[in-house]
Amino acid sequence: MKKILTQEEKFLQMTQTPIPSLICRLSVPTIISMMVTSLYNMADTFFVGQISTSATAAVGVVFSLMAVIQALGFTFGHGSGNYMARALGSRETKTAGEMAATGFFSALIVSAVLAVLGLIFLDPLVRMLGATETILPHARAYAGYILIGMPWMVAALTLNNQIRYQGNAFYAMCGIASGAVLNVVLDPLFIFTFDMGVGGAALATILSQFVSFCILLANTYRGGNIPIRLRNFKPSLEYYRQIARGGLPSFYRQGLASAATIFLNLAAGPYGDAAIAAMGIVNRVSMFASSAMLGFGQGFQPVCGFNYGAKLYHRVQKAFWFCVKVAVGFLAAFAVIEFLFAPQIVAIFRKDDADVIQIGATALRFQCITLPLTSWIVICNMMCQTIGKAFKASVLAMARQGLFFLPLIWLLPHLVGLTGVQISQPVSDFCSFLLAVPMGVSVLQEMRRDQEHLDAQNREA
């Protein structure tokens, strides 16, 4: 049976356990959580891919709506979770409890309002996301169900991140993984057995996410986690300022991912439904490839938050370099495998369409070239966000799929046609890496100076 730690024991664990073993222990559940989360869309794409190319493209179109949902969940989850980790590192448990409730209930209210607006303007919404006339009926069916489930999907992501930032990634994993497994079971049942088509895939997703939400909410009362209590809901300007400070980088990152998907669909549109479907598949495969690395980095975040709050800056730096080294090695190995077997990977999702396979395999191979570079970008972003460097975290969050990708996806297709669509993301990743290097180094140098100043004070004392 898993031992339940007190807040004091957890503080000692997070601030004294050797960095490699601590991060590995926290990372295993987050890696599993991230990979199974990506399976939601991977499963939908796989089963919907057996219907038609237009249906496959519809899932790709609505993927940008899923990115908005993730943006909201990560904004409230990372914003409140970052603050909670620093508060717990400073042993301010009451404040952490108020932030947990404020982040959760705010996420629930905001997402419910947006869901109602989305359902009212459903057709204009899916057209804006990039649906063509042939894709529109499938996209409408898929997006309608997703909007119905939006409130608990956002709330589940918020809870998942709050629990993870408290150093209890195991409980976060249990909630996410259970929903993912259920989704894989329900997808073929609703799509084929009940003959619901694309709408069945979306219904399976929102029911599975509801199960995850219920388990995650129950888990806030277990394992030494801070429970969600209505009486702790304290909507104040200061708490929302802290949520914005820690969460806006996630909003920029995920929100721009949504915008990037929309513009990617629009750029691929002139080349037919096959191009839209192919780039949608590549997006999901790339997400799955990076999910393990993101999970590993998320094991770093509570370590970073606790130790930064406790002013143990040397441990933050050591944790950062450990994560970068491991992530680079992992992504390099993954990139080689994807490059060699790109056609076979794409064919898993749409084996009966040669155009989808050819377009998707080429795009996937281009992305493999720069995949290892994203380790530095993401870990730097996570570090800046967790320690409250909001400006730098926001710039890094906007870089890959905003500052660089959006201009490139507009420019490159005009210059080199379909190849421009396929290379926009890897070129953006390379530019983002060049930006992230000096920003990450400057933060590390600042922490090194702070550590030297503390050491000097301790010697004088």
Q: What is the pLDDT of residue 408?
A: 95
Q: Is the pLDDT of residue 445 over 80?
A: yes
Provide the 3-class DSSP secondary structure of residue 221: coil
Q: Which of 45-54, 257-266, 377-386 has the highest mean pLDDT?
A: 377-386
**Closest among 455, 314, 294 to 18, alpha carbons compared:** 314
The pLDDT value recorded for residue 211 is 95
* Stretch 447-458: mean pLDDT: 88
pLDDT at 443 (0 to 100): 94
> What's the rounded Cα separation, in Å, for the pair 405 and 457?
46
For residue range 335-345, what is the model confidence (pLDDT) as tens digits? Answer: 999 999 999 99
Helix, strand counts (H, E) of the chain: 18, 0
CA-based R_g, the chain, Å:
21
pLDDT on residue 6: 62
Predicted confidence (pLDDT) per residue in 346-371, tens digit = 998 877 788 999 999 999 999 999 99
Give residue for tokens 């717990």.
Answer: 88
Burial 86-110 (b: 16+ CB within 10 A, else e): bbbbeebeebbbbbbbbbbbbbbee
What is the mean predicted confidence (pLDDT) over 46-50? Answer: 80
Q: What burial class does residue 5 get, using C-beta atoms within 10 Å of its C-beta: 0-12 exposed, 13-18 middle, 19+ buried? A: middle
Average pLDDT over residues 102-130: 95
Tell me the average pLDDT across 235-241: 93
Q: Residue 75's closest CA among 249, 212, 234?
A: 249
Q: Which residues, including other chains, have CB under 8 Å from residue 4's CB and lie 6 or more apart? A: 222, 223, 224
- Under the banding of pLDDT at 50, 70 and 90, the label for residue 143 is very high
In this structure, the number of other CB atoms found within 10 A of the CB of residue 224 comes to: 15
User: What value does the mean pLDDT take over residues 419-425?
Assistant: 94
Q: What is the mean pLDDT of residues 285-300?
A: 81
Q: Which whole number is the average pLDDT over 261-277?
A: 87
Of the CA atoms within 13 Å of residue 220, those in its CB half-sphere come to 23
DSSP for 304-342? HHHHHHTT-HHHHHHHHHHHHHHHHHHHHHHHHHHHHTH
pLDDT exceeds cutoff 70 at 96: yes
The predicted structure's pLDDT at residue 1: 42
**Segment 109-131 mean pLDDT:** 94
What mean pLDDT do residues 265-272 have?
88
49 vs 233: which has the higher pLDDT? 233
User: What pLDDT does 7 receive?
Assistant: 65
**Is residue 5 very low, low, confident or very high in pLDDT (cuts 50, 70, 90)?**
low
Which segment, 189-198, 268-277, 357-366, is predicted with the most confidence on average? 357-366
- In one-letter notation, the amino acid at residue 259 is A
As a whole number of angstroms, the distance between CA 26 and CA 315 comes to 15
Q: Assess whether pLDDT exceeds 70 at residue 432.
A: yes
The pLDDT mean for the chain works out to 88
Residue 445 CB: number of other CB atoms within 10 A? 11
Angle separating helix axes 273-309 and 374-386, nearest 10 degrees = 40
pLDDT at 41: 60
Rounded mean pLDDT, 203-229: 92
